[in-house]
Structure 1
Amino acid sequence: MKNAIPNPPLQASRITANASTGFKVTTADGRPARLAVVDDEGNVIEAGQDLAWAAWRVCVEVQENFWEGMGWLEVHTSPPGDPVLVERLMGKAA
């Protein structure tokens, strides 16, 4: 299964993970770094440890769904179109 997923080399960063600590991100030379979500205009819209844990949670849930024979299920960090999240994001933009 894992051979079917791309594994591109990262030039400037390294990502490691284990089951108890989630993702760890560093620069290529070992300095601490953090995950970020960047929109198509290059704006960082979310970054940091909460993002890393949310991404890890999605990965774990997807793997559990696969093991339970429900690999076709999609996992979300929050309900799509969540009105609370939309309001929070729109308030930030205003």
Structure 2
Amino acid sequence: MDVKTVVDLVKEGLGIRTNVRDGFITAIVNGVIKELEDEKGLALDPANPSHLIFCVDYAVWRYKSRDEGRHMPRHLQYRLHNLIIHVGGKRP
């Protein structure tokens, strides 16, 4: 997964136009990708737009909820479960 592309899309989703938060957002994106691959067992395909957008949406939620400790929204849970069922363990 191209981290720069994900970071750019996360910034768009958050309405961030400066580079001031890039380090923090990049750390979140790297953490999300690592979690999905290592902990959830997903084989992310960088050419698959649904994988890309899920990473973006997950990172946006992580950024927004960093101080609140909220549970993952249902739509993200649903999409994550579908990814695990469809691509878990497969290598692109």
> Shared fold (TM-score greater than 0.5)?
no
TM-score under structure 2 length normalisation: 0.34
TM-score (norm: length of structure 1): 0.34
Structure (1 or 2) with the greater strand fraction:
1
Q: Which has the higher contact order (CA 8 A, sep 6+)?
A: 2
Which has the larger helix fraction? 2
